[in-house]
Chains A and B, each alone.
Chain A
Amino acid sequence: MTEIDFYPTHNFEDYKLRVGKPFPFGATLVPGGVNFSVFSRQATSCTLVLCKKNSSEILAEIPFPECFHVGNVYCMVVFDLDFEEVEYGYRMDGPFAPEKGERFNKERILLDPYAKAMGGRVAWGKTPDWSEPFQYRGRFVLEDFDWENDKALETPIEDLIVYEMHVRSFTQHKSSGVTNPGTYAGILEKIPYLKELGVNCLELMPIFEFDEFENSRQNPVTGERTYNYWGYSTVGFFAPKAGYASTGKFDMQVDELKNLVKQLHKNGIEVILDVVFNHTAEGNEQGPTFSFRGIDDKTYYMLTPEGYYYNFSGCGNTLNCNNPIVRDMVLDCLRYWAAEYHIDGFRFDLAAILGRDQSGRPLSNPPLIESLAYDPILAKCKLIAEAWDAGGLYQVGSFPAYGRWAEWNGKFRDDVRKFIKGEDGLVGAIAQRVQGSPDLYGWNQRGPTASVNFITCHDGFTLYDLVSYNHKNNLANGEGNRDGESNNNSWNCGAEGETSDPGIIRLRRQQIKNALSILLVSQGIPMILMGDEVAGTKRGNNNTYCHDNDLNWFDWTLLDKNHDVFRFFKNMLAFRHAHPVLRNCQYFECSAAYITWHGTKAWQADYSPSSKTLAFMLPGSSAKGGTAPDNTIYVAMNSYWEALAYDLPSSPANTRWHVFSNTGMQPPADICTPGSEILIDNQQQIIVGARSVIVLIAK
């Protein structure tokens, strides 16, 4: 039935108009036209600017008639728009008084904060024409993707193995062999690889529209161009990065990304997005004005009393997340991605900022974080916080969780790194980490699923570099090696960087396997960094945010070269999937059967300051609260530089100890496939090699 109120009431030049619906914000295709709706509290007038696609050629400037102004919202339907050939933006007029948080400039054409697709950067790396007045232009999106029966997978969070991935880096290297390198479609072709590896969740580094040319420059040392490559600087929160789509030049990035999610879901793989709500790409008062600043500076940004930008993000500005308007935008955005793209969860970059009030003070009960936790549409999404910010707020263990939020556990990373390099005094901490960090997350009943365990992530060394470099090697970033973390808890195993010493090479592989073993037998949610499974290197650079080259690209030739590392990863991931006792959602002290602690002597863990040994036994009967009977598992860790004998606790009645993995052995004897574990002759004692981890199961 045709709606009786859906006809034009106004004309402007050749355009037919009527008052729009204020909700939803953004540009929405409606029968016969497009509904435009945009908020500004302080603008005195607003004009819709329509451009010819792929250019800044203006087709029309349609002022919103005063009767289309509802509260602080400008809303209008434009009929008969050829929506595939047109891009749009707004001019906002109003006062320019920075000290009051008003920076209107009607000369600028502004990107709609709710734009669902963006023109201006549709092909990755194509040098922009900076003389164009309108760099980022809104586009219209058909929201009728055929999902068939797909929905978010809702995998229990404790069963996830997360793989942190950069979309372009995964397949851009020529060795990837895919049809469309560096794109969403490229990932599609590598789904069989991901399945073989055994990950069931991709955490994609930022895919919201960003500008790879932000702060782009020539590296003074190498002459190479550097980019805003990782993309932690959002231009448009509702728009997928078109430059990551093989079909971006045909406007099909939305469908390409949705198809990727759909196909990953078909293969049991969830998708978590790394979202950056702490700042925008507009920077401080010296940065460009392309959207938020020109629409409502005071609403979107945290400003000092003098009208300057607070910089809790370290990137020039701070999004004013607990302003009610901005809070709604963040909610609308995540709901959109969850409902429209079937996204399974979100990881929030510098999430501590989300808990600051409008003048930057940390809130005890932050409305945004609470709203996200209780939102009906996000109810089944994973919510993961990077629980710190660049302004010094560090909330690992204390992030307001509302029973929902998990955290990147930075302490897990630091403690495991120190332990495997053989530092003193770590045994007590490691006992906490392998249980899912009850010292951090036990006090408010959060449980091990609050802890995303990781040893490496995009920030910092790769796992191979962690065992190959004592010092960061960031000269290629063009900042005189001053950027990036200097305290990495890394150890090069005897030589800095590449070496031909077979003993060092062997030890490095062993250390990689030690790290992975501890990660995968720990309670909590393990996350591995793309490329670590083939011992990928960034040549000691621990901050490769700006490189569109093989420092970041996954080198697929390593799959052959380092096949033993891949095999170890694959089998260790399979082992975790096979054993629910590794994936509890309650701490062991809450269950009938306890985790027990051992050392070189059974039942006697050595917590003395110089101890480098720890073993533990997980009772199979306690798996998932006793609901999923499992084998009992025993793990022995030795970070001492000599082999040690470990007395074994008795295996449960009618079972005997079998070895699943032993990092001290040379491949292929270092690991087997789950189910083919090998009975050990001596059931009373094992030798744990120097710097080794052994995993036994009782069966």
Chain B
Amino acid sequence: MEIAITNVENASIVVIDGDIDSSTAPEVQRQILPIVAENRKIIIDMSKVDFMSSAGLRTMLLIHRNSAAKKCLVILAGVKAQIAGTMKATGFYAFFTIYNNVDEALAATRGEYHDGDRLLSNA
């Protein structure tokens, strides 16, 4: 699992490449939480994540909660269908803001998307 972080406009884009499980989740947390502390909007590009375990989902939720406490937006982008299915079945899906891809997520951070669009695009 590798993590690449780039800053664009008013957001940080975090590209995660590889599985997020109990062995890699601590690293995800270690790299992303500092960005939350900087109060930046965070777009996590999930399009190269094929598997997210129970511990992986919990790490993402922890990141989300930390950011929500700071009123800082975390968006998941490009979540693969199987992971989205797991998230729906287990109730995690409802906690997150999710867009189809990074471009849509970026547009959203500029205020070009409304919540209704998000629901439509992920229905």
| Contact in complex: B89, A247 (CB < 8 Å) | yes
Tell which of B53, B61, B86, B91 touches A262, judged by Cβ atoms closer than 8 Å: B91
Q: Mark A232-261, 1 if CB is under 8 A from B, else 0.
A: 000000000000011100111001101100
With both beta carbons as reference points, the residue of chain A lying nearest to B82 in the complex is identified as A250
B55, B57, B61, B91 interface centre (most CB from chain A within 10 Å): B91
| Contact in complex: A184, B61 (CB < 8 Å) | no
- Which positions 280-313 of chain A face chain B at CB distance < 8 Å? none
Which residues of B have CB within 8 Å of A185? 88-89
Closest Cβ of chain B to A310, distance in Å, is 40
Which residues of B have CB within 8 Å of A262? 91
| Contact in complex: A252, B54 (CB < 8 Å) | yes
Q: How many angstroms between the C-alpha atoms of A246 and B86 in the bound complex?
A: 8
| Contact in complex: A84, B88 (CB < 8 Å) | no
B17 contacts the other chain (CB 8 A): no
B104 contacts the other chain (CB 8 A): no
| Contact in complex: B23, A82 (CB < 8 Å) | yes
| Contact in complex: A252, B86 (CB < 8 Å) | yes
Which residues of A have CB within 8 Å of B89? 180, 183-185, 188, 245-247, 252, 256, 259
Q: Mark B19-62, 1 if CB is under 8 A from A, else 0.
A: 00111000000000000000000000000000101110110010
Which residues of A have CB within 8 Å of B53? 84, 250-251
Closest Cβ of chain A to B119, distance in Å, is 17
Closest Cβ of chain B to A269, distance in Å, is 16
Tell which of A82, A83, A179, A255 touches B90, judged by Cβ atoms closer than 8 Å: A255
Q: How many angstroms between the C-alpha atoms of A256 and B95 in the bound complex?
A: 15
Q: How many angstroms between the C-alpha atoms of A375 and B119 in the bound complex?
A: 44
Q: How many angstroms between the C-alpha atoms of A247 and B88 in the bound complex?
A: 10
| Contact in complex: B54, A251 (CB < 8 Å) | yes
| Contact in complex: B91, A250 (CB < 8 Å) | no
Interface size class of A (residues with CB under 8 A): 20 to 34
Q: How many angstroms between the C-alpha atoms of A179 and B84 in the bound complex?
A: 12
Tell which of A84, A142, A179 touches B85, judged by Cβ atoms closer than 8 Å: A179
A146 contacts the other chain (CB 8 A): yes
Closest Cβ of chain A to B8, distance in Å, is 31
A501 contacts the other chain (CB 8 A): no
Q: How many angstroms between the C-alpha atoms of A184 and B61 in the bound complex?
A: 22
| Contact in complex: A250, B86 (CB < 8 Å) | yes
Q: How many angstroms between the C-alpha atoms of A21 and B22 in the bound complex?
A: 24
Q: How many angstroms between the C-alpha atoms of A252 and B53 in the bound complex?
A: 8
Which residues of A have CB within 8 Å of B90? 247, 252, 255-256, 258-259
Q: How many angstroms between the C-alpha atoms of A426 and B58 in the bound complex?
A: 59
Which residues of A have CB within 8 Å of B57? 252, 255
Q: Is the interface of A mostly helix, strand, loop or mixed?
A: loop
Which residues of A have CB within 8 Å of B22? 82-85
Interface size class of B (residues with CB under 8 A): 10 to 19
Which residues of A have CB within 8 Å of B95? 146
B22, B57, B61, B90 interface centre (most CB from chain A within 10 Å): B90
Q: How many angstroms between the C-alpha atoms of A44 and B29 in the bound complex?
A: 44
Q: How many angstroms between the C-alpha atoms of A263 and B94 in the bound complex?
A: 12
Q: How many angstroms between the C-alpha atoms of A84 and B95 in the bound complex?
A: 23
Q: Mark B83-122, 1 if CB is under 8 A from A, else 0.
A: 0011011111001000000000000000000000000000
| Contact in complex: A255, B54 (CB < 8 Å) | yes
Closest Cβ of chain A to B26, distance in Å, is 11
Q: How many angstroms between the C-alpha atoms of A262 and B88 in the bound complex?
A: 13
| Contact in complex: B58, A144 (CB < 8 Å) | yes
Which residues of B have CB within 8 Å of A179? 85
Which residues of B have CB within 8 Å of A245? 89
Q: How many angstroms between the C-alpha atoms of A246 and B88 in the bound complex?
A: 10
Which residues of B have CB within 8 Å of A246? 85-86, 89
Which residues of A have CB within 8 Å of B23? 82, 84-85
Q: How many angstroms between the C-alpha atoms of A256 and B58 in the bound complex?
A: 14
| Contact in complex: B55, A142 (CB < 8 Å) | yes
Closest Cβ of chain B to A177, distance in Å, is 16
Which residues of A have CB within 8 Å of B55? 83-84, 142
Q: How many angstroms between the C-alpha atoms of A352 and B37 in the bound complex?
A: 59
Q: Mark A171-193, 1 if CB is under 8 A from B, else 0.
A: 00000000110011100100000
Closest Cβ of chain A to B1, distance in Å, is 14
Which residues of A have CB within 8 Å of B58? 142, 144
Q: How many angstroms between the C-alpha atoms of A250 and B58 in the bound complex?
A: 14
Which residues of B have CB within 8 Å of A259? 89-91
Closest Cβ of chain B to A242, distance in Å, is 12
Closest Cβ of chain A to B15, distance in Å, is 23
Closest Cβ of chain A to B45, distance in Å, is 21
- Which positions 60-93 of chain A face chain B at CB distance < 8 Å? 82-85
With both beta carbons as reference points, the residue of chain B lying nearest to A250 in the complex is identified as B86
Q: Mark A556-591, 1 if CB is under 8 A from B, else 0.
A: 000000000000000000000000000000000000
Q: How many angstroms between the C-alpha atoms of A246 and B91 in the bound complex?
A: 13
Q: How many angstroms between the C-alpha atoms of A402 and B74 in the bound complex?
A: 53
- Which positions 152-198 of chain A face chain B at CB distance < 8 Å? 179-180, 183-185, 188
With both beta carbons as reference points, the residue of chain B lying nearest to A84 in the complex is identified as B22
| Contact in complex: B54, A142 (CB < 8 Å) | yes
Q: How many angstroms between the C-alpha atoms of A168 and B73 in the bound complex?
A: 39
Which residues of A have CB within 8 Å of B54? 84, 142, 250-252, 255
With both beta carbons as reference points, the residue of chain B lying nearest to A253 in the complex is identified as B90
Q: How many angstroms between the C-alpha atoms of A82 and B54 in the bound complex?
A: 13
Which residues of B have CB within 8 Å of A82? 22-23
Q: How many angstroms between the C-alpha atoms of A142 and B21 in the bound complex?
A: 13
Which residues of B have CB within 8 Å of A256? 89-90
Which residues of B have CB within 8 Å of A251? 53-54
With both beta carbons as reference points, the residue of chain B lying nearest to A246 in the complex is identified as B89
Q: Mark B63-82, 1 if CB is under 8 A from A, else 0.
A: 00000000000000000000
> Known interface pairs A85-B23, A252-B54. Does A247 touch B91 (Cβ–Cβ under 8 Å)?
no
Q: How many angstroms between the C-alpha atoms of A246 and B51 in the bound complex?
A: 15
| Contact in complex: B91, A255 (CB < 8 Å) | yes
Q: How many angstroms between the C-alpha atoms of A262 and B92 in the bound complex?
A: 12
Which residues of A have CB within 8 Å of B86? 246-247, 250, 252
With both beta carbons as reference points, the residue of chain B lying nearest to A249 in the complex is identified as B86
Q: How many angstroms between the C-alpha atoms of A134 and B53 in the bound complex?
A: 24
Q: How many angstroms between the C-alpha atoms of A179 and B82 in the bound complex?
A: 12
Closest Cβ of chain A to B41, distance in Å, is 23
B53, B54, B58, B85 interface centre (most CB from chain A within 10 Å): B54
Closest Cβ of chain A to B104, distance in Å, is 23
Which residues of B have CB within 8 Å of A188? 89
Q: How many angstroms between the C-alpha atoms of A262 and B94 in the bound complex?
A: 13
A179, A183, A247, A251 interface centre (most CB from chain B within 10 Å): A247
Which residues of B have CB within 8 Å of A144? 58
Closest Cβ of chain A to B65, distance in Å, is 9
Given contacts A255-B54, A262-B91, 4 further A-B contacts (CB under 8 A): A84-B22, A142-B58, A246-B86, A252-B90
Which 6 A/B pairs are nearest by Cβ-Cβ distance?
Answer: A259-B91, A84-B22, A185-B89, A255-B90, A247-B86, A256-B89
A-B contacts, 19 of them at CB < 8 A, read A82-B23, A83-B22, A84-B22, A84-B53, A142-B55, A144-B58, A146-B91, A180-B89, A183-B89, A184-B89, A185-B88, A246-B85, A250-B51, A250-B54, A250-B86, A252-B89, A252-B90, A255-B91, A256-B89
Interfacial residues, chain A to chain B (CB-CB below 8 A): 82-85, 142, 144, 146, 179-180, 183-185, 188, 245-247, 250-252, 255-256, 258-259, 262-263
